[in-house]
Amino acid sequence: MLGVIGGSGFYTFFGSDARAINLDTPYGAPSAPITVGTVGAHEVAFLPRHGVNHEFAPHTVPYRANMWALRALGVRRIFGPCAVGSLIPGLGPGAMVVPDQLVDRTSGREDTYFDSGGIHIGFADPYCPTLRAAAADLPGVVDGGTVVVIQGPRFSTRAESRWFASQGFTLVNMTGYPEAVLARELEMCYAAIALVTDLDAGIATGEGVRAIDVFAEFERNLVSFKKLVHEAIDNVGIERTCTHCLPHDGVELPFDLP
């Protein structure tokens, strides 16, 4: 089973024929019931990251519960569509990007399942290369880029935005971490697919980033963005062949993975 975690403005993925599943986890309930349907030859589980009515801010999303629930349901490969700001003037609103790196600038988020024992995972390349290729090979998609994940819920100051850009970062987002690392700990393939909704505050002049404008831009591109996610799913093979996202080979874990 494949998984899709929808971001801001991306709250549904299937029609009324999909079935809803309520799950509980050792980390509480996920953001919303998981809906299961089909895309081409794949069975797909969809979970809105922020809840059905956007009741979870980026720093309050139950990330550990979300990823655990998807794994328990049988998901082993996940696409994470998300809204991002651009740190590059030439990469404007409406662009769709498949990043290959992330930088964590969050604080205080529960970002591991391994609170005891000496369990360490490799995370040099945080996204699954197989899933990245399935999305990045599509027409019009920008392949590669570094997303810096900020704590939120506020947007960056102009100085922060210019600082991020000076470091060579491409995109700024509030939810990409710890989602990606939790997927790796649970040995699930994960790749982000980013929709640019704005130029960040230090990159463009004017009032700076406003939430109302971000949501409006996302809504304008939602149909084409969902189409891209469908096409990426169609590009994924039926059998999982990736070994990059299996970091626990030969390691004795303190608990069984769901």
Residues with catalytic function:
198, 200
Query: Is 193:232 a contact under the CB 8 Å cutoff?
Result: yes
Report angle CA 6, 69, 107 to the nearest 5 degrees. 65
| 8 is known to lie in a ligand binding site | yes
| 120 is known to lie in a ligand binding site | no
Query: Is 192:143 a contact under the CB 8 Å cutoff?
Result: no
**In angstroms, rounded to a whole number, what is the distance separating the alpha carbons of residues 240 and 258?**
18
| 249 is known to lie in a ligand binding site | no
| 104 is known to lie in a ligand binding site | no
| 174 is known to lie in a ligand binding site | yes
| Kind and range of the H or E run holding 172 | strand 171-173
| 256 is known to lie in a ligand binding site | no
In sequence order, which residues have a C-beta less than 8 Å from that of residue 65 and are 6 or more positions away?
25, 27, 28, 29, 30, 31
**In angstroms, rounded to a whole number, what is the distance separating the alpha carbons of residues 8 and 203?**
22
Q: If DSSP codes are grouped into helix, strand and coil, which group holds residue 110?
A: coil
| 49 is known to lie in a ligand binding site | yes
- Concatenating the DSSP letter of every residue in 173-224 gives ESSHHHHHHHHHHTT-EEEEEEEEEEE-TTTS-SS---HHHHHHHHHHHHHH
Cα–Cα nearest to 181, from 126, 131, 129: 126
**In angstroms, rounded to a whole number, what is the distance separating the alpha carbons of residues 7 and 4?**
10
Residue ranges with strand state E in 12-67: 19-21, 34-39, 42-48
Copy the structure tokens of residue 181. 């690392």
Q: Which residues are annotated as a binding site for substrate?
A: 174, 198-200
Q: Which residues are annotated as a binding site for phosphate?
A: 8, 49-50, 175
Q: Which residues are annotated as a binding site?
A: 8, 49-50, 174-175, 198-200
